């Protein structure tokens, strides 16, 4: 199977920017599409800032950063992705937004062998697949935050995914992006979030009920179970809005009360306390 050289990423938020960065560092030609010129420019700044941090920490040389930046281009015109061999969608975790991206992508992509992946955390991959005229070429590739650090990608075949598209997605993830994969079922939450989300929501309920303070919950899990960060710090990293959206999709699918977003989480999202990205969540962060 020839390597993918022309890669596309839709959406340049936390996840999309991390995926674009990793792909460019691994030598791929990457086009990143955002919905407006302003968001495309902000996406470029996000990737450039992360590469700069890599240089400051001695992880990358200035030349690595410059080569990666030269392989990246940013656009607000989805049509620029026409010649891509592999495209991943990493827009906000909202069904309608993702469906619209898949419908539009289907119209612009010209390579009949192109693979369309989604980084959704919780929306059924098959729903996005059947929004296109090429459901056999659509697959889930679920990355973890921060993308440059976390080794795992969940690979999720939908009922419609062909063996060839699945193989291509697996080899792209492992051989080209250098990640490790597990195969996960096309059920809301896949494997990791199905276990992680009820745990995170239980931590929110513990704080909401006044039973424990955030810092005690987090220190408990960090020192007691050697987790790199406790559940509330992790929610701040993931983004409370994203966590809420994932919990709601899982609840919608299973009607399992443990998946229901607690009122405190909903109120924090309504208040704009989204975690690190907004400067405030369970903790306060520098801008
Ligand atoms: N890009 C590149 N490298 C980064 C980075 C980034 N954005 N953030 C951290 N790093 C690197 C640092 O350079 C450092 O490398 P080194 O050890 O070789 O020097 C290493 O990661 C550790 O970083 P720090 O010393 O700054 O900070 P920590 O030791 O506190 O680690 C962390 C930060 C990597 C975020 C760690 O706390 C962690 O792994 N936390 C758990 C994250 C997690 O569980 N993610 C999954 C979320 S669920 C998800 O994404 C799914 C979605 O659907 C909800």
Binding site membership of 144 for ligand 1 (Cβ less than 6 Å): yes
Cα of 81 to ligand 1 centre, how many Å? 30
Cα dihedral 243→130→18→193 (10° resolution) = 30
The pLDDT, as a whole number, for residue 2 is 74
Domain locations in the chain as residue ranges: 6-183, 193-276
Radius of gyration of the chain (CA): 19
User: pLDDT digit string (tens) for 59-83?
Assistant: 999 999 999 999 999 999 999 999 9
Sites in the chain below the pLDDT cut of 50: none
> Of all protein residues, whose CA lies closest to atom 31 belonging to ligand 1?
228
The pLDDT, as a whole number, for residue 287 is 64
Residues paired with residue 139 on neighbouring β-strands, in sequence order: 117, 157
Active site residue 154: yes
Say if CB 275 and CB 235 are below 8 A apart. Answer: yes
Q: What fold is seen in the domain 6-183?
A: Rossmann fold (3.40.50)
Binding site membership of 146 for ligand 1 (Cβ less than 6 Å): yes
Left if phi > 0, otherwise alpha if psi is -120 to 50, otherwise beta: which for 155? beta
Task: Give φ, ψ of 137 to 5 degrees.
Answer: -100, 5
Binding site membership of 143 for ligand 1 (Cβ less than 6 Å): no
In testing the pocket of ligand 1, which one of 146, 226, 235 has its CB within 8 Å of the most ligand atoms?
Answer: 146
d(CA 64, CA 62): 5
Q: From the candidates 121, 188, 249, 278, which is the catalytic residue?
A: 121
Cα dihedral 21→106→141→265 (10° resolution) = 90
Binding site membership of 182 for ligand 1 (Cβ less than 6 Å): no
The pLDDT, as a whole number, for residue 286 is 87
Secondary structure (DSSP) of 138-178: EEEEEE-SSTTT--EEEEEE-TT--HHHHHHHHHIIIIIT-
> Of all protein residues, whose CA lies closest to atom 47 belonging to ligand 1?
145
pTM, rounded to two decimals: 0.95
Active site residue 142: yes
Q: From the candidates 17, 193, 249, 278, which is the catalytic residue?
A: 193
The pLDDT, as a whole number, for residue 233 is 98
* Residues 260-284: b if buried by 16+ CB within 10 A, e if exposed: bbbebbbebbeeebbbbbbebbbee
CATH match for 193-276 among 1.20.1630.10, 1.20.1260.10, 2.102.10.10, 1.10.1040.10: 1.10.1040.10
The pLDDT, as a whole number, for residue 156 is 98
* Residue 253 burial (C-beta neighbours within 10 Å; 0-12, 13-18, 19+): middle
Say if CB 54 and CB 65 are below 8 A apart. Answer: yes
Residues paired with residue 152 on neighbouring β-strands, in sequence order: 180
Cα of 179 to ligand 1 centre, how many Å? 15
Say if CB 103 and CB 131 are below 8 A apart. Answer: yes
């Amino acid at each position: 199977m020839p390597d993918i050289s022309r890669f596309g990423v839709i959406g340049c938020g936390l996840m999309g920017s991390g995926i674009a960065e990793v792909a460019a560092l691994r030598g791929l030609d990457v086009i990143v599409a955002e919905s407006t010129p302003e968001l495309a420019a902000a996406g470029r700044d996000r990737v450039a800032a992360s590469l700069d941090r890599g240089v400051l920490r001695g992880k990358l040389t200035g030349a690595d950063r410059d080569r990666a930046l030269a392989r990246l281009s940013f656009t607000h015109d989805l049509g620029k992705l026409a010649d891509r061999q592999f495209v991943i969608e990493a827009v906000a975790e909202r069904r309608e937004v993702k469906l619209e991206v898949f419908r539009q992508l289907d119209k612009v992509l010209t390579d009949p062998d192109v693979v369309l992946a989604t980084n959704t955390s919780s929306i059924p991959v098959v729903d996005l697949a059947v929004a296109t005229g090429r459901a056999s070429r659509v697959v889930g590739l679920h990355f973890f935050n921060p993308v440059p650090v976390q080794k795992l990608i969940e690979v999720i075949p939908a009922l419609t995914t062909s063996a060839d598209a699945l193989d291509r997605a697996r080899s792209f993830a492992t051989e080209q992006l250098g990640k490790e994969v597990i195969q996960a079922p096309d059920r809301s939450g896949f494997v990791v979030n199905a276990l992680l989300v009820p745990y995170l929501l239980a931590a929110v309920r513990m704080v909401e009920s006044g039973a424990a303070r955030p810092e005690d919950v987090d220190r408990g899990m960090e020192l007691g179970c050697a987790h790199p960060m406790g559940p509330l710090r992790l929610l701040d990293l993931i983004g409370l809005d994203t966590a809420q959206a994932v919990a709601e999709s899982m609840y919608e699918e299973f009607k399992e009360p443990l998946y229901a977003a607690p009122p405190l989480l909903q109120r924090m999202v309504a208040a704009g306390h989204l975690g690190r990205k907004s400067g405030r969540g369970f903790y306060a962060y520098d801008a």
